[in-house]
Chains A and B, each alone.
Chain A
Amino acid sequence: MAGKLIQVATNTVTSAVANVSLVGINTDDVYMVAVSNLVPATDDARTQVRTTTSGTADSDSEYDYAYKYFKTSTTYGNSSATNQTRWDLQEIGNATGEANNMIFYLYSFNSSSKYSFFTVEQAFLTNGAELRGYQGGGVHTVQETNDGINFSFDSGNITSGTFTMYKVV
């Protein structure tokens, strides 16, 4: 993969918001999304990710995913689902030091004839301060042009986090 990253969109949350969208995918390049220090207002809230169409999060039931689930406390697990209303990325804590950090790569979002795909690497602390993380990916099984990605929690607001999308060229 080539070595240049061109910033497309960024959002640093410093006061609580319900969700964050990074929009600006308009080429067939691979895009990378880096998320650091994502913290929920509600302890043990689940991170949710959706594609966007014309800047609006897609709320259909066409999200599939499969991850290997790394845990420091026990045997690793598998997490998978089909026909969901979002890509789920586990519950995280909001005490001091607890946060979610992720690297995504996005594929074929710009195509109107292909599905939208992503891979993710994640490291976070649970509300018990246990290190865990997903590694895997998913697909939005709709043949449509998606112009970005949306982050939210299943409960409560986003307290903090820096979200940046780059085009990989």
Chain B
Amino acid sequence: MSSLRLIDETTATSVSSISITDVFNSDYDIYKVVAKNMDSTTEDYLYWRFINASGTKVSSSSYDYAAHYLRSYNTFTEPKETSSPEFDRFAVQDDESSDGGGVVAYVFNPYSSSRYSFLINQHQAQGSLGAIGLKGIMVLKDTSSMTGFCVYTNTGTLDSITIQTFGLRVE
């Protein structure tokens, strides 16, 4: 049996926000989150917030992140922020019907009530001017237990998105 266990798969259409709840638990320390078939009405950024054990989206200014923004048509940039109310660089929203980019992210220790939650993401999309990639890291400096997460648009809506959440089992 694979140690990579599918916990949840959610597909949504015509939404501006998708919440994946009750996926982080004591069975795993590390999770793999895959977002695929992503298409949007607007070219913008896709954000991330954790959802705590009370079901509340964590919007305190406790997110730090650093990303590398890789573009086929321009120079690379280094978006970064501390004490942010969300992770602003989970992905880029594609707005062409032929687009369908994806993300692979690893989430560390989200369910722990004594450790910070970390995330590493890799993303590829196609913008109006060319290929766009993101490589990023993020920490939520909050030791509360997180049980899920929310991915949402900065502007516009997602025509489609599928999010898979896997746990990395340790026996």
The answer on a CB contact under 8 Å between A131 and B169 is no
Can you list, as one digit per residue, whether each of B1-45 has a CB less than 8 Å from chain A (1) or not (0)? 011100000000000000000000000011000000000000000
* Interface of A (DSSP majority class): strand
Q: Does B138 contact A (CB under 8 A)?
A: yes
Judge whether A162 and B106 touch: CB under 8 Å. Answer: no
A158 to chain B, nearest CB (A): 16
| Contact residues in B for A132 (Cβ distance below 8 Å) | 66, 137
Indicate if the CB atoms of B170 and A123 lie closer than 8 Å.
no
Q: How many residues of B contact A (CB 8 A)?
A: 35
**A7 contacts B141, C-beta separation under 8 Å:** no
- If the complex has contacts A10-B170, A37-B29, are A72 and B82 also in contact, measured as CB distance less than 8 A? yes
A19 at the B interface (CB under 8 A): no
Asked if B4 and A121 sit within 8 Å, CB to CB, the answer is: no
* Partner-contacting stretch, out of A96-104, A138-146, A148-156: A96-104
Contact A101 B108 (CB under 8 A): yes
B2 & A123 in contact (Cβ 8 Å cutoff): no
- We find that the number of chain A residues with CB closer than 8 angstroms to chain B is 35
Q: Find chain B residues with CB under 8 A from A131 CB.
A: 64-66, 82, 137-139
Cα separation A96 to B109 with both chains bound (whole Å)? 14
* Known contacts A36-B30, A71-B66, A164-B168; 5 further A-B pairs (Cβ under 8 A): A4-B2, A36-B109, A72-B80, A123-B138, A131-B64
Binding site for B on A (CB under 8 A): 3-7, 10, 12, 34, 36-37, 68, 70-72, 75-76, 96-97, 99, 101, 103, 121-125, 129-133, 135, 162, 164, 166
Q: List 9 A-B contacts (CB under 8 A).
A: A3-B4, A37-B29, A68-B68, A70-B68, A122-B120, A130-B64, A162-B29, A166-B4, A166-B168
